[in-house]
Amino acid sequence: MSGVTLLDEPFDLDADRLKEECGVFGILGHEDASALTALGLHALQHRGQEAAGIVTFDRDQFRAERHLGLVGDHFSNADTINRLSGRAAIGHVRYSTSGEPVLRNVQPLFAELEGGGIAICHNGHFTNAMTLRKQLIMDGAICQSTSDSEVVLQLLARSREKKIVDRFIDAIRQMEGAYALVALTAKKLIGARDPLGIRPLVLGDLNGAPVLASETCALDIIGATFIREVENGEVIVCTPGGIESFFPFGKRPARPDIFEYVYFSRPDSVLGGRSVYDVRKKFGRELARESTVDADVVVPVPDSGVPAAIGYSQESGIPFELGIIRNHYVGRTFIEPTQAIRTLGVKLKHSANRSQIEGKRVVLVDDSLVRGTTSVKIVQMIREAGAREVHFRLSSPPIKHSDYYGIDTPVREKLLAAKYNLDEMKSYIGADSLAFLSIDGIYRAMGFDGRNNAAPQFTDHCFTGDYPTPLTDLSEDHDMARPPRLVEVQ
């Protein structure tokens, strides 16, 4: 074969998005616990597509299944659901940030402690995990996975406390970072959210059975009622007898991650009392106000740019059109190409809808700009389809800093906005004009006058560099604390 290949996909519009690491779900006291957990995880699939796992507790035994792949591929058949018997379950979807995906890293993780078994999974990242791991290994612990969750388990196992909840609190008191944790013991479903509430976690109810989930869309799919968000720094312990709350870190103001609104959460989820779809439309409206342009058509970068583009269109009065068409039949192969051959712009996942672009001045709306590699290609595609002008608009501020709280960001040097000023970015991308939503604009869209720099309402370090927790691991030498030097193929 000479010049054409099917395998590479240089034009995946999703190739340059930030990736969330995980989603969590738990339910206690329902006869269909595993089926409901599978459904909840399916609704959270956008938070992690690499692997999924479910652990249930049935009478005197925990039951686990963990698979690489989508929830629907492995947890949708009756056999699996029947094997996962029991009236309590927790589950996890995972996106891997590094290394080869291996099954031993798929959560929930499980340990048999002196007082009984416990399964645990989390969304987020512990910023002192490697430091703690190093200490644990020196103390004779054997760490089998490379997952941060295992550090929590090891701390739990070594805690001198007697009760499992006390052990749990003992363990998370030693952890720093951003997390939503869900754990299951023989009698309890436990949830915990980091002291600032950076990662989301909500509490629901299904006919009396308490439900924990990363987002409200996972409650909706099973018909559960939304009760409230788990508070920042709260440890919530569900038993058949009721729900108890602990605040081991005391109470302080929350700082949820603004990026959940920008990109991660599903548009139909409600977060902090706000419809995510509505917030995104408001980002688009605010952007239209800040960066007006004379144009013929507003075209979203599918799919995540759509709500902001609708908002932009409604505010500006410029018609909204689907100028880019998504091919729904992109099989698995294109997601995991087996070899990387260069192609000349073959567009497997998207194509330009020439009739809406040719001869027109196009406002192209996307949610955020990371490395810019995809934006270059999309602007080129729009130009090739005959656009007269291309005005690129981003419904969030420039990303200038890496994340350390469970989001897979490139190293700082690869972030376009960390390298270039606005004009350089415009040239790099090849647009006729380029504009971002301002940092105050994003806070205005959230209902504030602007960012409260003295006590910021949200975690927004990717835009501002203001990290709200210590980053212990970054300042240490972690040669020994690295994940085990074992390359494993199942």
Query: Where on the phi/psi map is residue 431: left (φ > 0), alpha (ψ -120 to 50), or beta?
Result: beta
Q: Looking at 22, 121, 217, 238, which residue is catalytic?
A: 22
Dist. CA 385–CA 81, nearest whole Å: 48
Q: Is 115 helix (H, G, I), strand (E, B) or coil?
A: coil
**Ligand-binding site membership of 265 (annotated):** no
Residue whose CB is less far from a copy of itself, 319 or 470 = 319
Residue whose CB is less far from a copy of itself, 307 or 441 = 307
Q: Which of 13, 20, 25, 66 binds a copy of itself (CB under 8 A)?
A: 66
Dist. CA 471–CA 487, nearest whole Å: 27
Q: DSSP for 18-76, please give it.
A: -EE-EEEEEEES-TTHHHHHHHHHHHTGGG--SEEEEEEEETTEEEEEEEES-HHHHS-
Stretch of 235-243, 416-424, 427-435, 479-487 contacting a copy of itself, by CB under 8 A: 479-487
Site for a copy of itself in 240-259 (CB under 8 A): none
Residue whose CB is less far from a copy of itself, 349 or 426 = 349
Report which DSSP code applies to 261.
I
For 242-259, letters b (16+ CB in 10 Å) and e give eeeebeebeeeebbbbbb
**Ligand-binding site membership of 366 (annotated):** yes
Q: Which of 15, 227, 243, 330 binds a copy of itself (CB under 8 A)?
A: 330
In whole angstroms, the minimum distance from the beta carbon of 454 to a copy of itself comes to: 31
Site for a copy of itself in 105-164 (CB under 8 A): 110-114, 117, 137-138, 140-144, 150, 153-154, 157-159
Site for a copy of itself in 44-63 (CB under 8 A): 45-46, 49, 55, 60-63
Question: At 14, which amino acid appears?
Answer: D
Whether 22 is a known active-site residue: answer yes
CA angle (127 as vertex; 42, 217 as ends), nearest 5: 20
CB 96: neighbour CB atoms within 10 A? 20
Residue whose CB is less far from a copy of itself, 36 or 180 = 36
Per-residue contact flags (x/-) with a copy of itself for residues 308 to 327, judged by CB under 8 A = --x---x----xxxx--x-x
Count of positions on this chain that bind a copy of itself (CB under 8 A): 114
List residues forming the annotated binding site.
304, 366-367
List residues forming the annotated binding site for Mg(2+).
304, 366-367
Catalytically active residues are 22
